[in-house]
Amino acid sequence: MKKIIILIALISTLIFSCDKDYLNEPKPTSSVSSSVIFTSRDGVNSFISGILRASRLELNLDRLDTGGLPSLYFARTVKGNDLVLGVQWYRFDYNNDNRDPTDKRTVFNWAFPYTMINELNILIKGINDSENLSAIDKDETLSQALTLRAFYYFQLAMEFQHTFSYDASLPAPPIYTSPALDGKAMSTLTEMYTLILSDLNDAVEKGADSRLDKSYVNKNVTYGILARVNQVMGNWSAAEIAASKARIGYSLSASNYSNGFNNIDDGEWIWGIPQTVDQTITINTAPHSFTDNSNKIGYGEAFWNEDFVNRFTDTDVRNTFFDLFGFGDNSGSYKARASSKFRLTFDPDIPLMRSPEMLLIEAEAKARQENDNEAATLLFSLQKNRDPKAVASGNSGTALIDEILVERRKELYGEIGVEWFDAKRLRKGIIRTGNHRVKSPGNLLPDDKKFFLKVPQSEIDANDNIEASVNADR
């Protein structure tokens, strides 16, 4: 009898322990489902925040020169004549010799924008498909997504083909406007710029002036990117309008110039990447970590061409150059001039767009449209702000345009690769002068193929629509 009772007890345990929901109870705790994201403005904002955070993501390529968007810009900076790079992480870019299908620069500059574009396509689809978001929320979030998508396609167009004005029918990287698993064929520059303009114009329509903070996209940012795109395409009147709208509300502030360029709250900054102690890539941060020679934690070893340094007056607030090792003038040493423009702290903010750039785009656009007077006035307003003792040059025509281009380099050095950007879009080339460590082998001739990268081998390997022959003439 005792045995029978035990048996019954045991068998009932066996049966009752088999609860039907036993296998349904465990749920993921570190992730959320799309229903949480696309049913509220807060949800969509969190996805946008994540995407912005990812703009400084380090792709795992075992190198420190692949730290998100800042590294893409800094690689452009070191390709020019103004900065002289020591033997450090970006040295292959400095040599203008980092563009083969298996090179890290090639892989990163392709993979990083596309990673962002995929997230943005998921975001755009989610917003469009959402039945819970209000029309105004949809517009305001879509405008941010479209601006960012255009921004990253713009980088791909610049990095993987000649400039637009060279031959717009040339192959450009593939275009995806919705989330995809299968690789697409190459597009053309025309198709790519058409998409970029349509995304940006759409974003201008839908955009808002307000935003969560300066790392987010508002109308100013959209206009700023539109100005840059039109500048490359040579649409000068569109560039002028966009640039002027971009800088509304962001006046010049020379007083902050010597503070180390690491604070997004600076009044001139239209757009930037903020870092905090718990959200920082520290020594991976370009340009700070790779140009600050005074700091014992960064990679420093960046110097400045004496030819470039000599363009600055002593009273120019932007003249941050100094003789670190006491070489004196014209020593020929590539280490002769260091700069204190960027100071590396543990969590430096990174500039992406400032109002003086917009001012100079506006000035250039006016000059290109033969409105020299207004152009010169604008230009001098900046020069005077930076150097109280500045004297107007009185230049006009080509000389004025050249002066504006030099002013762009003086204003934006180290930030967004302005020298490379201008040489590429204007099809001019960059010839190295002065005290460079690597001189003529680093030269870029007008329309040099070294202005763009080959298509990565890993893309060719995994994409059925792109053949190895894509690199035949690159």
Applying the rule CB under 8 A, the residues between 362 and 391 that interact with another protein are: none
Give the position of tokens 């992480």: 89
Cα–Cα distance for residue pair 160/304, rounded to 1 Å: 28
In the list 205, 213, 329, 402, the residue contacting another protein (rule: CB under 8 A) is 213
Cα–Cα distance for residue pair 355/345, rounded to 1 Å: 24
Closest alpha carbon to 456 in 102, 187, 61, 59: 102
Residue 16 interacting with another protein (CB under 8 A): no
Name the CA dihedral angle for 190, 195, 201, 207, rounded to a multiple of 10 degrees.
-150
Give the position of tokens 């990253």: 152
Two tokens at 159? Answer: 């990095």
Residue 1 interacting with another protein (CB under 8 A): no
Element (H, E) at 321: strand 321-322
Residue 283 interacting with another protein (CB under 8 A): yes
Residue 210 interacting with another protein (CB under 8 A): no
* Residue 303, beta-bridge partner list: 84
Q: How many residues bind another protein (CB under 8 A)?
A: 104
Closest alpha carbon to 226 in 240, 213, 215: 240
> Between the CA of residue 335 and those of 86, 325, 340, 435, what are the distances in Å?
8, 8, 14, 8
Residues between 417 and 456 with contacts to another protein, criterion CB under 8 A: 440-441, 454, 456
Residue 3 interacting with another protein (CB under 8 A): yes
In the list 169, 210, 398, 469, the residue contacting another protein (rule: CB under 8 A) is 469
Residue placing its CB nearer to another protein in the complex, 182 or 209: 182
Taking CB under 8 A as the binding criterion, the range among 137-145, 195-203, 393-401, 462-470 that sits at the site for another protein is 462-470
Residue placing its CB nearer to another protein in the complex, 22 or 210: 22
Residues between 250 and 279 with contacts to another protein, criterion CB under 8 A: 274, 276-279
Q: How far is the CB of 125 from another protein (least distance, A)?
A: 11
Residue placing its CB nearer to another protein in the complex, 296 or 398: 296
> Between the CA of residue 201 and those of 197, 204, 206, 224, 233, what are the distances in Å?
6, 5, 9, 12, 15
Contact predicate 300/293, CB 8 Å:
yes
In the list 10, 392, 399, 445, the residue contacting another protein (rule: CB under 8 A) is 10
Residue 119 interacting with another protein (CB under 8 A): yes
In the list 135, 181, 328, 473, the residue contacting another protein (rule: CB under 8 A) is 181
Q: How far is the CB of 238 from another protein (least distance, A)?
A: 29
Contacts for 152 with CB less than 8 Å, ≥ 6 apart = 113, 114, 116, 117, 120
Residues between 289 and 308 with contacts to another protein, criterion CB under 8 A: 292-301
Cα–Cα distance for residue pair 450/472, rounded to 1 Å: 14
Q: How far is the CB of 189 from another protein (least distance, A)?
A: 16
In the list 39, 40, 54, 202, the residue contacting another protein (rule: CB under 8 A) is 54
Contact predicate 281/58, CB 8 Å:
yes
Residue 361 interacting with another protein (CB under 8 A): no
Residue placing its CB nearer to another protein in the complex, 126 or 224: 126
Residue 5 interacting with another protein (CB under 8 A): no
Helix (H, G, I), strand (E, B) or coil at 28: coil
Q: How far is the CB of 32 from another protein (least distance, A)?
A: 5
Cα–Cα distance for residue pair 113/68, rounded to 1 Å: 9
In the list 39, 40, 41, 100, the residue contacting another protein (rule: CB under 8 A) is 100
DSSP 271: E
In the list 39, 41, 97, 427, the residue contacting another protein (rule: CB under 8 A) is 97
Residue placing its CB nearer to another protein in the complex, 31 or 169: 31
Residues between 29 and 48 with contacts to another protein, criterion CB under 8 A: 29-34, 36-37, 45-48
Taking CB under 8 A as the binding criterion, the range among 111-119, 193-201, 369-377, 387-395 that sits at the site for another protein is 111-119
Q: How far is the CB of 392 from another protein (least distance, A)?
A: 39
Residue 14 interacting with another protein (CB under 8 A): yes
As a whole number of Å, the CA-based R_g of the chain is: 26
Two tokens at 1? Answer: 């009898």
Contacts for 15 with CB less than 8 Å, ≥ 6 apart = none
Residue 136 interacting with another protein (CB under 8 A): no
Q: How far is the CB of 156 from another protein (least distance, A)?
A: 9
Please tell me whether the peptide bond between 287 and the residue prior to it is cis, using omega within 30 degrees of 0: yes
Helix (H, G, I), strand (E, B) or coil at 356: helix
